[in-house]
Structure formats: C-alpha cells, structure tokens
Structure 1
C-alpha cells in the first residue's frame, strides 16, 4: 500500500515563543527540533490542559509535538497507554492540524525497530483515519 505524504507543516515562531513564555523553557533560533528538545513527560498533564484551552491551530500544532514527545518518554506501560488514548482522541478531533505530524511519527518505510515507541500506535491511527 502506497502512503501519500501530506503537505509539510512545522511549528511557527510566534506560537513557539508564546509557549516558551508560558513554560519558561529555553529557546534559541538554532533549536530546530524545539518541541522535542524541551518536552518533559512530567508535564504531560499541563500540556493536555493547555492544548484543550487553545483555539489557535499553530499553538495546537506545537503543543501536539510536545505531547507526543512527552508520551514517548513515559516508561510506565499503563501510564503510556492511558495518555495515548487521550492523545489519540485529540489527533482525531484536530486531524487537519496534525495530519503531517501523525505521518512524521508513523515513520513509514522504516523498520519499527529503528523508530520511536509511539510509532506503531501512530501507524495504526493513520490506517484507522485514512481507511475510515
């Protein structure tokens, strides 16, 4: 089955700088993977709350990247599964915003052993959404 790559999307500076101010996280222009570098699994509850308060797509986009990284860093299986269900519902609800992010974390064409812990979940979600 051929997977078509969606239109590329990345976080924008304005949204990122607002999140930097909210969380007092470090930021520098060279931090290409900022949401992944600063995400903290201990803050996942705050990320979910902040995400749910957002109306701006760009902030939702960057917060979702933070949420996914935070989820990936959770070691406890029960905690991971509980938070995956919460994350999944938000990806589905705002799929238009997160289509590229879901595609990116699905690592299509890669062996799962070379991917993130969340990748098999992302691949299943991609199939669920795309195959209806």
Structure 2
C-alpha cells in the first residue's frame, strides 16, 4: 500500500539534552524513553521547547514526547491537534518515520488504534499524495 519511510531513531545525545532542558528523568533502563517520560499535562512546554530547537535529532526525539502527550490527552486533545499537525507537516521529512508508525496501517479498524491514528494517517496520505503529484 504505502512505502515505509526510512527508519530514524532517537539518539542518546538528544535524549540527554532534552532530559536536561526539560528536567526529565533519563535512566539506562528507559528503553522507550520518550513514551515513559512524556506527561500529557506538559504538552504546552514540549511544543514551546520544540519551536526553539534547531537540532534535528532533538526535534525528532521531542516530537515523540509531544505525540505521546497528545495521545494521552483526556479532554484537551482537539486543542493541540492542529498545532501538532502543523509541526508535523512543516517538517514532514524529519518525522515521516514516526508518523508512519502512528498510522498503524496493519490495523484497518480505527476503533482499535491509537486516538491520534486518524490524524496521522491523514498527514501521511496527504504528504505522500503531494509527493507523488510533484
């Protein structure tokens, strides 16, 4: 159906810097660091910090925190969706692999996916349609 974007992963250096900047824990056992330390109540802080970054590795890693925080929003998910969507679309090549992951294309039932999966699929499909028409 869709080609999987080239894999990209967090770097230890980016995690260390973000942990320092955002006062987050960073322990060796935290294999899925971004998902473990992300706090939905701090999404404003994450987004604000993201807009100040120029380092792609840090942006990539911080976006993982932002997406997890968005996914875990109880009542404020719609408040942040458009802002996060804009960040992802603006820097699509940087986040293509992460977006693809959250698309969950292996599951056709959107009711059995993450809450942000429909948004991620829209972004992925629209960005890939644009690419094909160029």
CA apart distance, 1:65: 0.3
Partner of 2:118: 120
SS at structure 2 position matched to 1:131: helix
Query: Which residue of the other structure, out of 96, 103, 122, is the alignment partner of 2:93?
Result: 96
Compute the displacement of 1:29 (Å): 2.2
The aligned counterpart of 2:62 is 63
> What TM-score do the two structures reach when normalised by structure 1?
0.93
1:87-110 deviations in Å (ceiling 9; x for gaps): 000001111110000000111111
Stretches of structure 1 lacking an aligned partner (at least 5 in a row): none
Residue correspondence of structure 1 range 8-27 to structure 2 within 5 A: 8-27=7-26
Tell me the equivalent position of 2:127: 129
Alpha-carbon distance between aligned partners in 2 of 1:115 and 1:26, rounded to the nearest angstrom = 28
Taking structure 2 as the reference length, the TM-score comes to: 0.91
What's 1:30 paired with? 29
Q: Which runs of 4+ in 1 moved over 4 A?
A: none
User: Post-superposition shift, 1:27?
Assistant: 1.5
